Structure formats: C-alpha cells, structure tokens
Amino acid sequence: MIELHVNGRPVQIAASSTTPLLDVLRNQLGLMGTRYGCGLEQCGSCMVLLDGEPIHACSREIGTTAGGRITTIEGLGTADNPHPLQQAFLDEQAGQCGYCLSGIIISAKALLDRNPSPTRGEIVRALDKNLCRCGAHPRILRAIEHAAAMLREWKGA
C-alpha cells in the first residue's frame, strides 16, 4: 500500500510503485479532471501539484509520491465555490475546448502561490510546460492576471 494525501484527504493506494500517478488518480480515485495528453511531458494536460510544485502525472511513478500531498484540479474549488483561478477563467472565457485547462490552472496556481504579483513574462514562463492548441493563450494570460488581482484583493481584505 502506498499512502498519500490527495486533495486534502489521506488515501491508501494498492498499486505497483511503478504505476503512473495519472492512472491512479483517474482509475482508482475517479479524479477525471487530470487529463492524459501526450504521455511524454510535452503538453502539461496531466499537471498536478505535489507538495505545491507542478509535476507531470503521466510519467511520475506513484512510488515516488509516497507521503506527498497531491492537489488535482478537483482539489481547488467546486462548482458552487470555485477557486479564484477557476472563476477568472470563467470570467475571461479563457477556455475553448478545455482539454488543457486543468493543467494550465494547476501551473498557474503554483506560480501565484510563489508570486502573487507576476509579470506577464513570468506567467508565460510558468506556462512553458503547458500546451493549448486552441490558441486561447491571450485569454488564458488575461485570466491568470485577473486571478492574481482577485487573490491579492481577497488576501488584503
């Protein structure tokens, strides 16, 4: 058994230590927001946070995450109470097909946790491992800037 914390709750996983984290999240835990894209760490659709750092779940073996705190897109907010990043993406209509967005939002969350006032260049660099083929990048960047402002306002209140 491999023990982790996923979205704030402890879980025990019965899997080979070499099983990809993405397989465990989707097939054992039913967390479908994390996507399989390329399987080669090229697109970022599979990004999750491991102890606050974005990682590719498609290639990360579950055994290397033992004891870690994993956050998926489902761990950020709910439909009734979305995380400010999720709300900003809705407000800015930043998605088109949406396949890449969970990974992009996870990468943006890691950035905003480290840097609440990123420049546009810092946002672009933070999303370097994420690919959106729909061409929604201007709206995505705007949404992250919007979320950063919302989070600063919320923390300042």
Domains and CATH numbers, the chain: 2-75 (3.10.20.30), 84-156 (1.10.150.120)
Q: What confidence tens digit (pLDDT) does each residue in 22-61 have?
A: 999 999 999 999 999 999 999 999 999 999 999 999 999 9
DSSP 8-state symbol, 74: G
Residues constituting the chain: 157
Instruction: Write down the pTM of the prediction.
Output: 0.94
- Of 32, 39, 76, give the one whose Cα is nearest residue 89: 76
pLDDT score, position 105? 98
The mean pLDDT value of the chain amounts to 95
Coil, strand, or helix at residue 6?
strand
Q: Are 84 and 150 in contact (CB under 8 A)?
A: yes
**Which pLDDT score is estimated for 156?**
67
The burial class, CB within 10 Å (0-12 / 13-18 / 19+), for 35 is buried
pLDDT tens digits, residue range 73-120? 999 999 999 999 999 999 999 998 989 999 999 999 999 999 999 999
